[in-house]
Each structure stands twice: as structure tokens, then as C-alpha cells.
Structure 1
Amino acid sequence: MKEIEILENVNINDKNKYEESIKAFADKLEEKISFLKHRKEEVEQSAKDTFNEKIELLRQKKESLMKHYEKIKETSESKWNDVKEETSKKVDEVKTETETAYTGIRDGFSYLFDKLKN
């Protein structure tokens, strides 16, 4: 932190300069604190938005999957093989998209934390 240099360069024998340096250092710390609080709020909102998007996506996928489930329940044994392939593809698609959503959230947090550091 560059602000620490303020205290390192102070002539301790000069009381006024020392006081000014401490005050300047405290002011810089307050700026840093304010900046981090603001960034934290941005990160929190961004994280909430990301979670809400992923939750909505997964909810839609679940609804789609349940439609296939209902279709299977209504399908007779003789037509089961026709429905099975289509449903298997849908299940695989939902599994892939679910994994992508979770990975996206994890990667998104890494991105946000990196952004917060800067």
C-alpha cells in the first residue's frame, strides 16, 4: 500500500509534520475503506444478479424436464423406445446446462473477486 510510505518518510522529530502525516495517512485509509465498501456493494449486486439469472435458467430447464417426465408417464410400453431417446437427449442437455450454470457461478465469483482486488 503506497499510503504506508507517508509514515515511513516522516521526520519524527518534527511534531507538526508527524501529525500531518498521520492525518494524511488516516485520510487515505478512509478513501480506501470507502472505495472497498462501494466495490463490495457492486460485487454483491452483481453476484445477486448472476444467481438470479442462473436460478431462472435452471427453473426453466426443470420445467422442460418435467414436461418430458409427464410425457414418459403417459407413454405406453410399446412406444417407450421412441420417447426414451428424445428424453435421454433432453436429460443430457439439462445436465450439461446445469453444470455450465454452476461453473459459470463459480467462475463468475472468481472474476468478481479479481475485480474487487483491482
Structure 2
Amino acid sequence: MEEAKILDEANIDHKNKYEEAIKSFADKLEEKIDFLKGKANDVEESAKDTYHNRVEILKEKREALIKEYEKVKNTGESKWNDIKGEASEKIREIREESENAYTGIRDGFAYLFGKFKN
């Protein structure tokens, strides 16, 4: 850490100079703490926004899935062959989009936790 050089360069034989170096180092650490607190708040808000956004996407996908379910449920056997390709494609799209939304959250949190571990 660059600020640690302050203590390394201070002359321990001169009490006042060493006190100043310690105080300067403490002040620099306080600046870093404030900076990191701000970043943590930004990340927290960003993570919340992302989480809520993905939840909304998943809700929309669930609603679309329920609509497809109702459509399939209400289709008679005689019409099933007419809509099954379209229904299958729609369900596949919903599944992929839902998985992307969910894994985006999971992967994002895994990334953040990894950053905090390091």
C-alpha cells in the first residue's frame, strides 16, 4: 500500500516527525475507508437494482408461461397439431430467457463474493 511508505520513510529517531507520519498514515487510511464505503454503497444499490430488475423479468416470464399453459390446456386434441410447434418454440424461448435472468443474478453475486474474498 502506497500510504505505508509514509511510515517506512519516517525517521523513528525523531518523535515529532514519527508522530506526524503516523497521523498522516491514519488520515490516508481514513480517506481509503471513506472511498470504499462509498463504493460499497454503490455496489449495494447496483446489486439491489439488478436483483429487482431480474425478479421483474422472471415474473414476466412466469406470466408468459402461464398464458402458454392456458393456451395449451384449452386447445383440443384436434387443434393440438396446429399449435404444438409454436407452443414448443414459445416455451423454449421463455425457458432460455428465464435461465439467463436467473443465472445472471447468481453469477453476479458469485463475482461480487469472489471480489470480497480477495
Q: TM-score if structure 1 supplies the norm length? A: 0.86
Counterpart of 2:31 in structure 1 is: 31
Name the amino acid aligned to 1:81: N
Identity %: 60
Partner Cα separation in structure 2 for residue 39 and residue 106 of structure 1 = 21
Unaligned runs of 5+ in 2: none
Number of residue pairs matched? 116
> Cα RMSD between the aligned structures?
2.3
Where does residue 104 of structure 1 map in the other structure?
A: 104
Aligned partners of 2:23, 2:113: CA distance in 1, in Å?
Answer: 30
Displacement of 1:81 in angstroms is 1.8
2:6, 2:25 within 8 Å by CA — same for their partners in 1?
A: yes
Please give the secondary structure, in 1, of the residue aligned with 2:12. coil
TM-score by length of 2: 0.86
Aligned partners of 2:24 and 2:113: how far apart in 1? Answer: 28
CA distance in 2, matches of 1:89, 1:67: 14
> Could you tell me how far 1:26 is from its partner in structure 2?
0.5
Structure with more contact order per residue of length (Cα contacts < 8 Å, sep ≥ 6): 1
CA contact (8 A) 2:58 2:102 kept: no
Could you tell me which residue of structure 1 aligns to residue 4 of structure 2? 4
Structure 1 residue ranges without an equivalent (≥5):
none
- Structure 2 contact 7–22 (Cα < 8 Å) conserved: yes
Deviation, 1:9, is 0.6
